A and B are shown apart, each in its own frame.
Chain A
């Protein structure tokens, strides 16, 4: 099967770098998600793999074949577009068959492939309809079906769920995961939605400013973000960031926060000023008096858990997690316990260091 290998590829639009020397190796059968904010270059990178954008520098290999100069249709990849781009004047069947007819596949085989794809996606009944007669979710399936019939080396998805409503998005997400498990094919998926990235990906590639910030499994990225950017981008609610002075010796360090409270942690870093990052779930509301206290400003009750938005004495903001039955009310003074094994320190360059 196929590997997709990008070797220091770059691209500029009119003198502006949009992709800057990216290298990436996608092994066969892997589900890779390109995650990043808009303008990070994630869609451009996907379109470069598809052949819809040229690759200015570097090389692209798909299944061992150099592909950067091949036309889109000859790269053995299939793409699902954000707006689906279903041909409005063709039936579902013709939409799926169009690509196969273009390579002059024989009719019986086309019919078989369309039938198979329809069965996999449970849309046999829709084959003779036109896109205008389908719901948003059904169009999405057809768009995937049009990719499946090509039996490509890799599937490329460009924000495929962004046009669906919230409920349908969750359902389709699960279906996509099932589809990947069943087909075991390589999939590259672009999204700005971290939930989609976390739930679908074998590996997440986080892009920012035309570069890769981090590549790793969802839990890697979540627990050990490589940079201040990744730490802030992944996770909802977002990670808390507080200025901290680090002092101490060897691995035994003490971080002094802005309000004067001290947090002891194990980390191998020279003393100095850092940004301390901690996820809300590592900031527990304590029933007993603790080193750090804050004043609850807003209390968000989500049912299974409660988010408490706090202000420390020096005014810095912090979000803490409490149980669903939390008694805290706005204006209460709250005592906070930090899970010191889940602390991250970010240096001036934004590089992350993780506490032990």
Chain B
């Protein structure tokens, strides 16, 4: 097509300019700044002195970093795979329904995802309240002793993981539903003509055809849960935050509670690199499985 090159350049630049300006200010600059800050002994706000890799070398012997790192890993283990399977199960159930019932049931599963974390916190804090929570009534009827879940170190992470699955599962359900809809119905019809049992149909048709979506859900969940902060922070209020530290929480603590910008930045860089490595690994895996087809 006949193009006016100069004019096209100009319009292109005008159109990307607002985005590039915001992106530069809010993304590129802070990212570079984070790296620079991580090599300094600096308060949160104000000048610092260059200390080389000191902020990094002290991390291995930092007990709080240890807690934060392993708690994050623990949290990922507790949420990612269980959450994905719960979502798959829900999606398999929802996809069988049709019409209004389906959208109603889907809405019931999806509604928590749409709510702010504060609301989720309030609801579950109330539901699991040691004195009056309805969950405790359930424990009573089952003959189990009541537990102050969010005040007990053992129960804290599993409980927050449980609430997180409840909260974010709807998102994964939607992706699975889209994936299930994309499987052509005639494959199932062919399978039923071959007298394939329900489990074999799932094992040999649904599961392999759904695998790309499953991989996607696992990836999204993995990266999302590495960045966990909100729930842990809120449920720790009035509890024992130092036992419940996760990576972002520790960044927050170092920077905003201890006023150590440089050391906080070093932790941020570590998390940054963790996420990038996982994203890159995952990208490679996806490409390899694509090629195998």
Contact = CB atoms under 8 A, between A and B. Distances in A.
Touching chains A and B, CB distance < 8 Å: yes
Interface of A: 51-54, 71-72
11 contacts: A51-B2, A52-B1, A52-B2, A53-B1, A53-B2, A54-B1, A54-B2, A71-B2, A71-B4, A72-B1, A72-B2
Interface of B: 1-2, 4
Contacts of B4: 71
A72 B2 CA distance: 8
Contacts of B2: 51-54, 71-72
Nearest to A68: B2
A71 B4 CA distance: 9
A190 B85 CA distance: 57
A59 to B, nearest CB: 15
A53 B1 CA distance: 5
B136 to A, nearest CB: 56
- Specify the main secondary structure of chain A where it touches its partner: loop
B1 to A, nearest CB: 5
A172 B132 CA distance: 78
Nearest to A70: B2
A54 B5 CA distance: 13
Given A53-B1, A71-B4, A72-B1, 8 more contacts: A51-B2, A52-B1, A52-B2, A53-B2, A54-B1, A54-B2, A71-B2, A72-B2
Contacts, number: 11
A49 to B, nearest CB: 12
A203 B4 CA distance: 35
Nearest to B1: A52
A79 to B, nearest CB: 13
Nearest to A51: B2
Nearest to A54: B2
A86 B2 CA distance: 21
B130 to A, nearest CB: 58
A193 to B, nearest CB: 26
A51 B4 CA distance: 12
A54 B2 CA distance: 6
A67 to B, nearest CB: 11
| 4 nearest A-B residue pairs (beta carbon) | A51-B2, A52-B1, A54-B2, A71-B2
B262 to A, nearest CB: 54
Contacts of A51: 2
A134 to B, nearest CB: 27
Nearest to B4: A71
Nearest to B3: A54
B42 to A, nearest CB: 54
Nearest to A53: B1
A72 B4 CA distance: 12
A53 B2 CA distance: 6
Contacts of A54: 1-2
B281 to A, nearest CB: 38
B232 to A, nearest CB: 47
B56 to A, nearest CB: 51
Contacts of A72: 1-2
B15 to A, nearest CB: 20
B246 to A, nearest CB: 47
Contacts of B1: 52-54, 72
A52 B2 CA distance: 6
A51 B1 CA distance: 7
B5 to A, nearest CB: 12
A240 B2 CA distance: 44
A57 to B, nearest CB: 15
A9 to B, nearest CB: 14
Nearest to A48: B2
B7 to A, nearest CB: 11
Contacts of A53: 1-2
A51 B242 CA distance: 70
A107 to B, nearest CB: 28
A29 to B, nearest CB: 27
A54 B1 CA distance: 6
B141 to A, nearest CB: 58
A336 to B, nearest CB: 52
A71 B8 CA distance: 14
B283 to A, nearest CB: 32
Nearest to A47: B1
A71 B2 CA distance: 7
A71 B3 CA distance: 8
Nearest to A72: B2
A72 B1 CA distance: 9
Nearest to A55: B2
B21 to A, nearest CB: 30
A152 B4 CA distance: 23
B248 to A, nearest CB: 43
